[in-house]
Amino acid sequence: MDIIKVSARSVPKLVAGAIAAVIREGKPVEVQAVGAGAANQAIKAIAISRVYMTEAAVELICKPAFTTVVIDEVEKTAISMVVEALA
């Protein structure tokens, strides 16, 4: 699955565009965020991508879960949100 990594400095509108681009290819996408600031930008991005896709008559849903990522050889807990079109 395509993975989009979001940081606290990511721009939600740009991330939303990236999410929508993958969804338009008919694929789900995993959005990953480490830390509160990143998680906040990620959820904002998903909210915006839902607006984008509503315009295309596609309803997006997300499935949040915990995952582990390795950053600079250190394991960190990340929030993983799989975003997909509601069947």
86 close to 60: Cβ distance less than 8 angstroms = yes
Closer CB to its own copies, 27 or 53, in the complex: 53
Dist CA 84 CA 87 (whole Å): 9
User: Can residue 13 be called a binding residue for its own copies (CB under 8 A)?
Assistant: no
Binding positions for its own copies, 46-85, rule CB under 8 A: 46-47, 50-51, 59-66, 79, 81
- In the complex, the smallest distance separating the C-beta of residue 41 from its own copies, rounded to whole angstroms, is 8
- Sign of the torsion formed by the C-alpha atoms of 72, 37, 80 and 23: negative
Cα 60 off chain centre by: 11
Binding site for its own copies (CB under 8 A): 8, 35-37, 39-40, 43-44, 46-47, 50-51, 59-66, 79, 81, 86
